[in-house]
């Protein structure tokens, strides 16, 4: 039996309506996504994390833009970011837990961009952080939904986002796919601390 015959036989097996063919199809899909699709996407985007599932509510806007701005304007205006400037920023309405973010690594980073970066060495955070740039020199960020800019001494995970070295930056957010990330998150929610579970509100 030739290789072509074996491939035809395998293809016919995948088309069967049996639990065995479903399991093999799912495993094959996982292998293709992990070892073909993601490496290609990483190469094309220049980012080690070309797709990111949002796991927290730190960029959530609980109201429309005007309502959100009224609540948060004091901090931004005191840091030289006015309403008109913010309205021109990418993803000005933030995003929500469960969104998937497409990340571009071939970038310069400007005030208003949303970047994905590795936590500082002192931090116990296990995952990259995705926040908005509020200063370019040094590069510093803030979560749109956070009351404070994270510093070593004001959060339990000892995250410092006030001076982010460029080598820690994975890329910047280009666009979002709403809610699709819950397909992954739903499996990990029971393992998260109680206060971090569920939808943003």
Tell me, yes or no, whether 27 and 119 share the same domain: no
> In terms of residue numbers, what domain contains 36?
3-44
pLDDT on residue 1: 67
23 and 65 belong to one structural domain = no
pTM of the predicted model, to two decimals?
A: 0.86
Report the domain count for the chain.
Answer: 2
Residue 112 domain flag? yes
Does residue 62 fall inside a structural domain?
yes
- Residue by residue, pLDDT tens for the chain (201 residues) are 688 878 788 788 778 888 888 888 888 888 888 889 889 999 999 999 999 999 999 999 999 999 999 999 999 999 999 999 999 999 999 999 999 999 999 889 999 999 999 999 999 998 999 999 999 999 999 999 999 999 999 999 999 999 999 999 999 999 999 999 999 999 988 888 888 889 998
Q: Tell me how crowded residue 119 is: count the other CB atoms within 10 A of its CB.
A: 20
Q: Are residues 50 and 141 in the same domain?
A: yes
Domain co-membership, 71 together with 118: yes
Residue 201 maps to a domain: no
User: What pLDDT, on a 0 to 100 scale, did the predictor assign at position 195?
Assistant: 84
- Residue 140 sits in the same domain as residue 191: yes
Same domain, 22 and 94: no
- Within this chain, do residues 141 and 169 fall inside the same structural domain, yes or no? yes
pLDDT, residue 60, reads 97
Other CB atoms within a 10 A radius of the CB of residue 190 amount to: 7
Residue among 33, 179, 35, 175 nearest 104 (CA):
175
> What's the order of all strands across the beta sheet hosting 169-177?
51-53, 100-104, 169-177, 114-117, 129-136, 139-142
Would you state the pLDDT for residue 6? 81
The 10s digit of each residue's pLDDT in 98-150 is: 999 999 998 899 999 999 999 999 999 989 999 999 999 999 999 999 999 99
Residues 50 and 40 in one domain: no
Q: Which of 111, 126, 128, 123 is nearest to 171 (CA)?
A: 128
The residue whose two tokens read 């571009």 is: 104
CATH at residue 67: 2.10.109.10
């Amino acid at each position: 039996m030739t290789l072509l015959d074996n491939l035809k036989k395998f293809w016919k097996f995948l088309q069967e309506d049996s639990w065995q063919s479903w399991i093999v199809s799912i495993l094959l899909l996982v292998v293709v996504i992990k070892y073909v699709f993601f490496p290609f996407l990483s190469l094309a985007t220049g980012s080690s994390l070309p797709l990111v599932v949002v796991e927290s509510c730190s960029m959530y806007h609980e109201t429309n833009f005007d309502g959100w701005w009224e609540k948060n304007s004091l901090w931004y205006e005191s840091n030289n970011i006015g309403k008109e400037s913010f309205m021109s920023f990418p993803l000005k309405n933030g995003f929500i837990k469960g969104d998937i973010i497409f990340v571009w690594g071939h970038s310069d980073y400007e005030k208003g961009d949303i970047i994905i970066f590795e936590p500082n060495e002192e931090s116990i955070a296990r995952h990259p952080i995705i926040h908005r740039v509020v200063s370019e020199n040094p590069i510093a960020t803030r979560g749109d939904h956070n009351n404070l800019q994270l510093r070593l001494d004001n959060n339990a995970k000892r995250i410092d986002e006030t001076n982010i070295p460029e080598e820690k930056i994975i890329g910047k957010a280009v666009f979002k796919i709403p809610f699709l990330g819950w397909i992954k998150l739903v499996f990990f929610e029971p393992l998260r601390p109680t206060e971090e579970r569920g939808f943003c509100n």
